[in-house]
Structure 1
Amino acid sequence: MTAFAPDSIVLNRKLPLWYQVSQSLRASILGRSPEAPLRLPTEEQLAGHYGVSVLTMRQALKELEDEGLITRHRRRGTFIEPAVRRGAPVRLLGSVDAIVAQQSGMTARLLDQGTVPVPSELAEHFPDLTEVAMYHRLRSDEKTGEPTNHARNIVRPEIAARVDPADLERWPMTKVLRDVVGVRISRITDTVEARLADPDTARLLEVPLLSPILHYTGITYDEDGRALDVAQIHYRGDRFSFTVTLDAH
């Protein structure tokens, strides 16, 4: 069994070091593999890993202890609580149906919609357009009501004209485009990267500022190779992990 290995971070000296360390360690605990041991490295080892003082490390650990993620025992060490919930996986299994199924068990609320200039970072995907349609939604767990992710969809105007906003509170954009609008989707390109929650995301997902999040970008193409929709989704890092299944055949 391999030792528990927390992620490394670049610390921002303008923010409390203990807070940044506690958030990084929190994400590592919630995203750990099932076979990872429950015992954490010593305070001195963790302090050396993050490049902070032992006093700062103790303050970070106390935050996690108060949250119920760990227990600390004199002479025995620090242990992850076995009942701590691991993140739900974000799975990309190679089909449109998998993308649709990812949002099952969630409710969606349309926060905003309208026509906006093509965002500069997405201009390469819409070279023939100056304006696009934008939809912003917040998704929550059906059972608990807890926010899980918020998504912005950037859609070609001629496609958006055929989208009923009410459908977006029931289904993912991918399902609406394919099964309601009738678009023939040829492929979806996905990118997932780690980020820190900005003020807007922290407010919507009800997490502390600079909490770890998963930022997903999905680009949906039609049969002519045109980008129809660019989805930008921010997932709570303490509720989701990222899994890719590759077929070896």
Structure 2
Amino acid sequence: MTTFAPDSLALNRKLPLWYQVSQSLRASILGRRPEEPLRLPTEDRLAEHYGVSVLTMRQALKELEAEGLISRHRRRGTFIEPSARRGAPVRLLGSVDAIVAQQSGERTTLLGHGTEPIPADLAEHFPGRTEAVGYRRLRCEEESGEPTNWAHNLIRPDIAEKIDLDDLTRWPMTKVLRDAVGVRISRITDTVEARLADPETAGLLNVPLLSPILHYTGLTYDEDGEIVDVARIRYRGDRFSFTVTLDAH
């Protein structure tokens, strides 16, 4: 069975339960290892795992089926589609699991990591610190190997020492921090803006210099309100779109 995490959801009552479950399950599906089985557990087992009703679980699975990530066969069960499309629109709907799902599902290469000075424009987020641990990762499509985005994360040193580098080639940083390291994330503030590819980004993403990219900045805070991670992700402008859904209630 595919490894699912987290074991239970910290549910946000302002968002539909089926949506939160679908995003968590989506992240686990896209982050599965190739050797893991394609068959999913039954609806009853999944509902028990996520602590929701079977009806909610069924609606979440329906969403994933519509996206082409799974196929459902009467009497045979539910299966992950091995050829499911890995690229996806950037969607922010107000939950940590949505962000995890957004960043999941591509082959990730760790380009490097180590202690580095905190840039002047980020110093306000790391009061009293002059250094953080940086991680640079390149994400590529599974089948074609074509680069789609690259990420630079700055992590507090006391948190970085708990990170297993192997986890960073499988899971997005947000998932590693929450589910592997055990950081209790209180909020993530996101900014997405249009920029032009600098020389480093153009080289890594194999796009022309000064071509359009989506530049994402994510600030992750723990339950004490202290910064944990500052993520900067450069997405190829020809491969991603950006959608925001606001809850009016």
TM-score by length of 1: 0.64
Identity between Structure 1 and Structure 2 (%): 75
State the alpha-carbon separation in 2 of the partners of residues 248 and 219 from structure 1.
24
Per-residue deviation, residues 110-135 of structure 1 (Å, max 9, x unmatched) = 00100011111100000121110000
Q: Is 1:161 equivalent to 2:188 in the alignment?
A: no
What does 1:1-249 align with in structure 2 at a 5 Å threshold? Answer: 88-249=88-249
Q: Could you tell me which runs of 5 or more consecutive residues in structure 2 were left unpaired when the two chains were aligned.
A: 1-86
In structure 2, the residue corresponding to 1:203 is in which secondary structure? helix
In structure 2, the residue corresponding to 1:144 is in which secondary structure? coil
After the TM superposition, list the runs of 4 or more consecutive aligned residues in structure 1 that deviate by more than 4 angstroms.
none
In structure 1, the residue corresponding to 2:97 is in which secondary structure? helix
State the alpha-carbon separation in 1 of the partners of residues 155 and 171 from structure 2.
16
In structure 1, the residue corresponding to 2:148 is in which secondary structure? strand
Per-residue deviation, residues 136-189 of structure 1 (Å, max 9, x unmatched) = 000011122110100000000000000011110000010000000001000000
In structure 2, the residue corresponding to 1:240 is in which secondary structure? coil
In structure 1, the residue corresponding to 2:89 is in which secondary structure? strand
Equivalent pair of 2:104/2:172 in contact (CA under 8 Å):
no
State the alpha-carbon separation in 2 of the partners of residues 154 and 217 from structure 1.
11
- Give the residue type in structure 1 aligned to 2:142: E
In structure 2, the residue corresponding to 1:177 is in which secondary structure? helix
TM-aligned CA deviation for residue 93 of structure 1: 1.2
In structure 2, the residue corresponding to 1:230 is in which secondary structure? strand
Equivalent pair of 2:114/2:134 in contact (CA under 8 Å):
yes
TM-aligned CA deviation for residue 88 of structure 1: 4.0
State the alpha-carbon separation in 2 of the partners of residues 142 and 158 from structure 1.
33
State the alpha-carbon separation in 1 of the partners of residues 101 and 119 from structure 2.
28
- CA 1:175–1:88 in structure 2 vs 1: closer, same or farther (change >3 Å)? closer
- Give the residue type in structure 1 aligned to 2:247: D
State the alpha-carbon separation in 2 of the partners of residues 95 and 210 from structure 1.
32
Equivalent pair of 2:113/2:134 in contact (CA under 8 Å):
yes
Tell which structure's C-alpha radius of gyration is larger.
1
State the alpha-carbon separation in 2 of the partners of residues 233 and 92 from structure 1.
14
- Give the residue type in structure 2 aligned to 1:236: R
Per-residue deviation, residues 56-89 of structure 1 (Å, max 9, x unmatched) = xxxxxxxxxxxxxxxxxxxxxxxxxxxxxxx942
Q: Could you tell me which runs of 5 or more consecutive residues in structure 1 were left unpaired when the two chains were aligned.
A: 1-86
Give the RMSD, CA atoms, in angstroms.
Answer: 1.0
State the alpha-carbon separation in 2 of the partners of residues 185 and 229 from structure 1.
10
